[in-house]
Amino acid sequence: MSTTAQSGRAGMSLAPSTHLRRRNLIQLLITKLMASATLVSVLVTVGIVLSLIPTTFRLLREITTQIFGTVWAPLFTPSQYGMAPLLTGTFIIVSIAMVIAIPIGLASAIFLSDYATFNLRRIVKPILEILAGIPTVVLGLFGLYVVNPEFVEKYWPIGEPLAYTALGAGLMTGILIIPIIASVADDALSSVPRAMREAAYALGATRREVATKVVLNAGLSGVVAALILAFARAFGETTIALMVAGSYPKLSANPGDPMQTMASFIGFAGIGDAEVGSSAYNTIFLVGTVLFTVTLVLNILGNRFIARFREVYE
């Protein structure tokens, strides 16, 4: 009896029992709950932008063209805000990292996709994941205790490298991003269809020719994505640069010198409890804005390239 009354209210031809109505209600509530959970990730992005922008603009209005100067000393009085030393420091360390990581990372990717047997791949991939999981503080420690004194100080020919060097930081950052290049590029190369390889073999190509002239070309957008994402990771790396290259923003072209990157400046200035509104506080948000904007552009670009090879082959 009551069921018919309810079905009338629900306006359905099938008569839903209270049980059925309850589960529909649960379904509705759960969907709403999940939809609102998705807003958290949006909120985080909005929060990042809101935390960066106001402080950055306030400081920019104050310092205006000083930003093009060549001395970065925002924590001293009188403060100097020339970003050139941070830009060159970042550029040199990231460049060294890429020079190290591109050949080794790509070689690892080609090895995994076209040379390794199934079983070898099953062993090598997890070990590469372990390399990817080594904390940056450990890589920094190794750079500071081993690479700087035993390699850079001894063998670097220009100037007299001391405890902190950009070269050591670049090398360790390079090791940090090898697994990123290897794994993203391997995904791309492995998704190149078998038929393309077989066609090339049938035409008499050797294994190297297949790998470099067919597979690498076919998976090129994925390889480009790997390089862009690795570049972005190196660009934002803080701890290694801070531990190995030191915290002196020296404007120099010699990788044997200490240097400061944008990210390591944020880490360095943030160590002391930066009072809200102090110049240390303001400058870390200014530099943070540059860091965030550049990595955002790189990531959008990188993900575009990934989407492209997915579209073609998956």
Partner 1 sequence: MATASTSLESRVSLDRRIKDFTFTTFLSVSIVASLAFIFYIIYRLYNNAGFLLSWDLVTFFPSYDIDTAGFQSSIMGSIWVVGFATLFAVPIGVMTALYLEEFAGKRNRFTALLELNIQNLAGVPAVVFGLIGLAFIARGPLSWGFTVGSAAIVLAMLILPVIIIITREAIRAVPPSYKEGALALGATHWQAVSKLVIPSAVPGTATGTILAVSRAIGESAPLLLLGALSFVTFNPTGLDSGFTILPLAIFKYASDSREEFQVLASAGSLILLAILFAMNLFAILLRDYTLRKRNI
11 binds partner 1 (CB under 8 A): no
93 binds partner 1 (CB under 8 A): no
User: How many angstroms separate the CA atoms of 159 and 137, rounded?
Assistant: 27
31 binds partner 1 (CB under 8 A): yes
Question: Least Å distance between CB 78 and partner 1?
Answer: 25
Residue 10, both tokens:
């629900």
Choose which of 10, 15, 60, 104 interacts with partner 1 (CB under 8 A): 104
Choose which of 89, 236, 249, 255 interacts with partner 1 (CB under 8 A): 236
Residues of span 154-183 touching partner 1 by CB under 8 A: 175, 178-179, 182
Choose which of 216, 267, 283, 309 interacts with partner 1 (CB under 8 A): 267
User: How many angstroms separate the CA atoms of 45 and 210, rounded?
Assistant: 43
Q: Applying CB under 8 A, which part among 2-10, 87-95, 215-223, 287-295 lies near partner 1? A: 287-295
Residue 245 DSSP class: S
Q: Applying CB under 8 A, which part among 3-11, 88-96, 131-139, 193-201 lies near partner 1? A: 131-139
Element (H, E) at 72: strand 72-73
62 binds partner 1 (CB under 8 A): no
User: How many angstroms separate the CA atoms of 308 and 305, rounded?
Assistant: 5
**Closest-CA residue to 233 (of 166, 307, 181):** 181
Choose which of 95, 212, 252, 254 interacts with partner 1 (CB under 8 A): 212
Tokens 């950009």 belong to 166
C-beta atoms surrounding 57 within 10 Å: 13
Question: Least Å distance between CB 245 and partner 1?
Answer: 13
Question: Least Å distance between CB 114 and partner 1?
Answer: 9
195 binds partner 1 (CB under 8 A): no
Query: Are 259 and 246 in contact, with CB atoms under 8 Å apart?
Result: yes
Q: Is the Cβ of residue 218 or residue 286 nearer to partner 1 in the bound state? A: 286
Burial level of 311, CB count in 10 A (0-12/13-18/19+)?
exposed
